[in-house]
Amino acid sequence: MKLYPNKLIAGAAIALVGFIPKLFGADAVKVGVLHSLSGTMAISETSLKDVLLFTFDEINAKGGVMGHKIEPVVVDPASNWPLFAEKAEQLLVKDKVAVVFGCWTSVSRKSVLPVFERNNGLLFYPVQYEGEEQSKNIFYTAEAINQQATPAVDFLIADGRKKIYLLGSDYVYPRTTNKVLKKYLKAKGFRVPEEGEEFDPLKHDVYEEYTPFGHTDYQTIVARIKRFAAGGKACVVSTLNGDTNVPFFKEFANAGLSSENCPVVSFSISEDEFRSLPTKDLVGHLGCWTYFMSLKTAENKKFVSDFQKWLASAPSGVEKKNRVTCSPMNLSRIGVYLWKQAVEKAESFDVDKVRDAMIGQKFKAPEGEVTMQDNHHLINPVFIGETMANGQFKIIKSLGAVPGEPWSEKFLPKL
């Protein structure tokens, strides 16, 4: 999405929070929306707020949940991790929401996790993450490592890539994902530096580097990637999050790097982020997700069409031009429908009853049928896509339905 001054986004968010409750009666069920509408993560999270509002309206138009209209309570944690915890507490204790849909970064999820466990709240988390976590108070509709990172690496290896540059934002998701990937690559025969060992281009095939959130100067890092790729058969595995992707890819292209001489597979860039990126310079770079807007299914055609129609009359603060759909948006919507089905099965909004009813829930999603497992992760189809100049992905490989597994010890090859 486009980058806007934080004041404008925050102002729109305030207007939205004040506007929504007036639409609903006393019999409405309150649900929380916990996404950053300002700060570095607004580039990604604002669209998840939008698709949630669309989904609530979609459900309300058909009678709501057990006859109760959904009343969204939207808050802005402003890309501030401690503020996520405060806002989660507010939603559960003050606003008394039945469920919360939210978070993008793993640090935000980990900030709110104890709040949900202490108050026995329910969170649906829709964004790819590093695993090594399972909470009875969270349902992870997101891609786990074995539904994104390892399939992407397998694709790169099959494509003949012999050297891998791991580049990420400096927080828990990239570091934990890369820790798992290094073990995975070592089992595949790559020469990986030991913990604390300095990278030696004569001895190692894997380089690892991190940047702060909002980092803008990638000249030195891209120069290092260019040297790393000089011998050929190199690639970048990127876990950069938020608006830092804009300067990275601009510098990458300016340095003469491309998908031909050093392809990048990104785990946090979807069609939505492409709207702020120089897509003409990104042609051929890769993504691995459980959904692409370009999927040719009847369910996806309806999802995209209905979302576009909704935008025409969307609430104040919702950007209406040049909108797209993407995997985190799709997974957000899936989470709402699975929760609705579980509530109706349990005949209750009670968290404990809904949690039990969630297991085994199925939904015919745009990418195909998904199923919630007892580990609180989805069985979901996985796809590899190649970036096109129009900001969409061309699907180049379909991997079928993959059960999400949060614990790496269950899918890592034995050394």
pTM comes to: 0.91
Distance between CA atoms of residues 254 and 257, nearest Å = 7
Place of tokens 């300095």: 198
Q: What angle do CA 344, 350, 355 make, to 5 degrees?
A: 75
Q: Would you say 87 and 45 are in contact if contact means Cβ atoms under 8 Å apart?
A: no
In this structure, the strands spanning 206-211 and 163-169 are parallel
Copy the structure tokens of residue 216: 């803008």
**What's the pLDDT score for residue 25?**
63
- Determine whether 294 is exposed, middle or buried from the number of CB atoms within 10 Å of its CB (0-12, 13-18, 19+): middle
Residue pair 335/141 in contact by the 8 Å Cβ criterion: yes
- Give one DSSP letter per residue of 290-342, joined into a string: S--TT---HHHHHHHHHHHHHHTTPPTT---SS----HHHHHHHHHHHHHHHH
CB neighbours of residue 193 within 10 Å: 16
Can you list the alpha helix ranges (DSSP code H) found in 120-171?
149-158
Predicted pLDDT at 193: 97
Residue 19 is encoded by which pair of tokens?
A: 């506007």
pLDDT given for residue 3 in this prediction: 33
Domains of the chain: 6-143+296-380 (3.40.50.2300), 146-293+382-410 (3.40.50.2300)
Integer distance in angstroms from the first to the last C-alpha of the chain?
A: 42
Low-confidence spans in the chain with pLDDT less than 50? 1-23
User: What pLDDT was estimated at residue 5?
Assistant: 33
